[in-house]
Amino acid sequence: MKKIRHLIFIFIAIIFSITLNSCRSISVETYTLKTPLLEKQSSIRIVLIADLHNSIYGKDQSILIDKVKNANPDLIILAGDIIDNMDTIIGAQLLLSGISGIAPIYFVTGNHEYWTNDIEGIREELISYGVIILWDSYAIVETGKNNIILAGIEDPEKQFYEAPGYNQKEIMETVFRELDDVPWYKILIAHRPEMIETYKRYSFDLVLSGHTHGGQIRLPNIINGLYAPHQGLFPRYAGGMYSHGNITHIVSRGLSIRHPRFPRILNSPELVIVVIESD
């Protein structure tokens, strides 16, 4: 019995050590996509930041900021829950201050931005750093030789905290159906990956999401994630790249080490780089 207790203690110590180490370092995941919709011999580099929840990496957010700079992005995407309703906003402010001017920054809301009960204040804060907010809207973005469509959808929590009667599906039909005949590469930023069946109804080439925190616990090649919000146990879209016919769906495992309070195990905080190349 004493030997068994000793082995259990060693096992717990190993898991604790792995958890601490994984929370201290940011992994960088790069996905390369090909498309005939870009000009020949051209590419677009996107940094996807999701679910920061005001976490801070290094002095004044220097570790995360340096990784964004080193990625040399054409666009920076903030896919929601950059701010947390249970924590100070300082982590987000440090990040925005450090990455402002590197590349155009686009933002969509996550559920936690709404849960602060100060969505207007958050929007004003983001705009003060030059962030472009996509409020159920799209923009024609010129980058290098290419024009692309960059669209963003608000989080469904909008109906409870800002606009009673808000219906995301109806809004998408009203705003995005007109893009069906547009021949450019089209990207949708949508915080929640579990709603991919709705996103698939439209002519987007790429969907970028977060929200899952990588399923919190991973066993690589065995379990991609144990639990994710709004998907429950063994989520289908915990993190990674998924193919839905003509649509590619990339789900960031997020950068949060603050929320939820349950530790990440074998699931490093993740910065995503998406490289879109002409085919």
Q: Residue 161 pLDDT more than 50? A: yes
pLDDT tier at 245, thresholds 50, 70, 90: very high
Q: What totals of helices (H) and strands (E) does the chain contain, helices first?
A: 8, 14
Mean residue pLDDT across the chain: 92
Report the predicted TM-score, pTM, of the whole model to 2 decimal places: 0.92
What value does the CA radius of gyration of the chain take, rounded to a whole number of Å?
A: 19
What whole-number distance in Å separates Cα of residue 269 and Cα of residue 221? 18
Residue type, 73: P
Look up the domain containing 73 and give its range. 2-278
Residue type, 126: L
The single-letter DSSP state of residue 217 is B
Dihedral class, residue 221 (left if φ above 0, else alpha if ψ from -120 to 50, else beta): left
Contacts of 239 (CB under 8 A, 6+ apart): 212, 214, 215, 224, 225, 251, 252, 253, 254, 270
pLDDT digits (tens, 9 = 90+) for 20-78: 445 569 999 999 999 999 999 999 999 999 999 999 999 999 999 999 999 999 999 99
Which pLDDT score is estimated for 14?
A: 47
What whole-number distance in Å separates Cα of residue 259 and Cα of residue 213? 9
The tally of domains found in the chain comes to 1
Q: What is the CATH number of the domain that holds 24?
A: 3.60.21.10
